Amino acid sequence: MSVVLGIETSCDETAAAVVDQDLHVHSSVIESSIDQHRAFGGVVPELAGRAHVATIGPVVRRALLEAGLDPHAPAIDAIAVTSGPGLIGSLLVGLSAAKGYALAWGVPFVGINHLEGHLFAPLLEQSDLEWPLLTLLVSGGHTMIVLQKGPGEHEVLGETIDDAAGEAYDKVARWLGLGYPGGPEIDHLAQSGDPSALRLPVSMTGTDLDFSFSGLKTAVVRATEKHTEVEVGDVAASFQAAVAEQVLRKLRTALERHEVRGIALAGGVAANSALRKGVSDLASEFGVICHLPSMAMCTDNAAMIAAAGLHRFRTSGASDLTLAARPNWQLSEVS
Ligand code: KG4
Ligand code: ZN
């Protein structure tokens, strides 16, 4: 496989990218329907699905043109498409489109696990990653620590037992009357707030590597109802400090238990300033390399799906046309 078209439609981003075997990104196009969801305070699955149907064709066309390929008969060797986990109505659009393109252009396709895609994102920015690697994957839908022995060789060490970190940010932002998605705004407000203004619990402080954020969200609601005088910036800073403390404690335990060469951050919440600083401090303390993704690589994109596809074609081969979308496909089920 030398040139792969990646397609990603698991949530609200419609994305297509062209990546070659050296992991050079020739194009990466992302359209989001986020503006349609803002008024609802979260992604509305039906609206997301409808938006993908309207957008997928133009997005794939742009990705091919920007890579210098003929959009009617592109010189690609394969297609990699997210087939789970995600919103079923969104996944079906990308998967069906990929099957159609594969048939029309006579190329194979492979279904990719979206979370495995996130794990490949650091490779697109730094092809000489050293293994083993601990990756903290934090997004609106997932929060997990993954031990990677090499590309595609992953073991989930811990994950959230309730809300994802980004989901907690979005819910607290909604409670505070901020916009959606709430993560960037809370992060911004937190920079000038007092993190000791509210006493919030740091959940799951044992040695277990699982996370929990729903209790923290409830604690923010209770504390702000009781202390109405506390400024919103101070609430944001207190919440952000509690999230970072939980996540960094888990990461520290994982580093103590597993000898690794580096730590990587992935997912939308990898944009968070407290996490970026905390992870980079931890990496220095443990003497390991720290891989902080650019903002473009934090969020959902199709280049990471194409990168995972290049690996999966080599190790598992192509999918067939009966491949179904798997909305709850766990990373631990990928083989
Ligand atoms: O990975 P992503 O783009 O979408 C998926 O969930 O797959 O992540 C979006 C999430 C949202 O919950 C958003 O609030 C959060 O990432 N987020 C942040 C920051 N930027 C985005 N959370 C905390 N701090 C940020 N700077
Ligand atoms: Zn994602």
Rounded to an integer, the average pLDDT of 131-145 is 95
User: Is pLDDT at 164 greater than 80 in this prediction?
Assistant: yes
Question: Homologous superfamily of 131-295 in CATH?
Answer: ATPase, nucleotide binding domain (3.30.420.40)
Q: Are strands 133-138 and 25-32 parallel, antiparallel or unpaired?
A: unpaired
Least confident of 128-132, 184-188, 253-257: 128-132
Relative to the alpha carbon of 274, which ligand is closest? Answer: 1
Percent of the chain with pLDDT over 70: 99
- For residue 209, the tally of other CB atoms under 10 A from its CB is 19
Better pLDDT: 1 or 201: 201
Q: Taking a C-beta distance cutoff of 8 angstroms, is the pair 272, 245 a contact?
A: no
pLDDT at residue 162 tops 70:
yes
Taking CA atoms only, the protein residue closest to ligand 1 atom 10 is 140
Average pLDDT over residues 170-184: 94
287 dihedral zone (left: phi>0; alpha: psi -120 to 50; beta):
left
List the residue whose alpha carbon is closest to atom 2 of ligand 1: 268
> Mean pLDDT throughout 89-116?
98
- pLDDT, position 41: 85
Q: What is the pLDDT of residues 18-37, one digit of tens each?
A: 999 999 999 999 999 999 99
Name the residues around ion ligand 2, CB cutoff 5 A: 139, 300
Residues 226, 239: Cα–Cα separation, whole Å: 16
pLDDT of residue 296: 85
181 close to ligand 1 (CB < 6 Angstrom)? yes
Alpha-carbon gap, residue 278 to 265, rounded angstroms: 11
Model pLDDT for residues 213-253, shown as the tens digit of each residue:
999 999 999 999 999 999 999 999 999 999 999 999 999 99
Residue 15 CA, distance from chain mean position: 13
* Separation between Cα atoms, residue 93 and residue 25, nearest integer Å: 23
Q: Is the CB of 187 under 6 A from ligand 1?
A: yes
Can you give the pLDDT at residue 202? 84
9 lines ligand 1 (CB under 6 A): no
Cα(302) to centroid of ligand 2, in Å? 10
Q: In the chain, what percentage of residues exceed pLDDT 90?
A: 92
Name, of 145-149, 204-208, 296-300, the range with top average pLDDT: 145-149
Q: Single out the residue of 159, 93, 109, 158 nearest to residue 6, CA to CA.
A: 109
Nearest atom in ligand 1 to the alpha carbon of residue 114 is 7
Give SS3 for 159. Answer: strand
**Per-residue pLDDT at 165:** 96
What pLDDT band is residue 207 in, cutting at 50, 70 and 90? confident
The residue ranges of DSSP E strands in 67-152, in sequence order, are: 78-84, 109-113, 133-138, 143-150
CATH number of 3-119+297-333: 3.30.420.40
Residue-range domain boundaries for the chain: 3-119+297-333, 131-295
What's the whole-number average pLDDT of the chain? 95
**Mean predicted confidence (pLDDT) in 73-85:** 98
* DSSP β-ladder status, 262-266 and 289-291: parallel
Kindly state if the Cβ of 74 falls inside 6 Å of ligand 1: no
Name the closest ligand to CA 181.
1
Question: What is the rounded CA–CA span in Å between residue 315 and residue 335?
Answer: 9
Residue 23 in tokens: 């992991």
Ligand 1 pocket, residue 169 CB under 6 Å: yes
Closest ligand 1 atom to residue 138 Cα is 1
Answer yes or no: same fold for 3-119+297-333 and 131-295. Answer: yes
State the pLDDT at residue 129: 86
The reported pLDDT for the residue numbered 335 is: 75
User: Would you say residue 306 has pLDDT above 80?
Assistant: yes
**pLDDT value of residue 277:** 97
For ligand 1, whether the C-beta of 182 sits within 6 Å is yes
- Which residue among 139, 191, 276, 294 is best mutated to probe the pocket of ligand 1, counting the most ligand atoms within 8 A of its Cβ? 139
pLDDT category, 282, cuts 50, 70, 90? very high
> Closest Cα to residue 245, out of 227, 224, 272?
272
| Gyration radius of the chain's alpha carbons | 20
Number of CB atoms found within 10 A of residue 317's CB: 10
> What digits encode the pLDDT tens for the residues 4-17?
999 999 999 999 99
Contact residues for 234 (Cβ-Cβ < 8 A; gap 6+): 193, 194, 197, 198
Query: What pLDDT band is residue 1 in, cutting at 50, 70 and 90?
Result: low
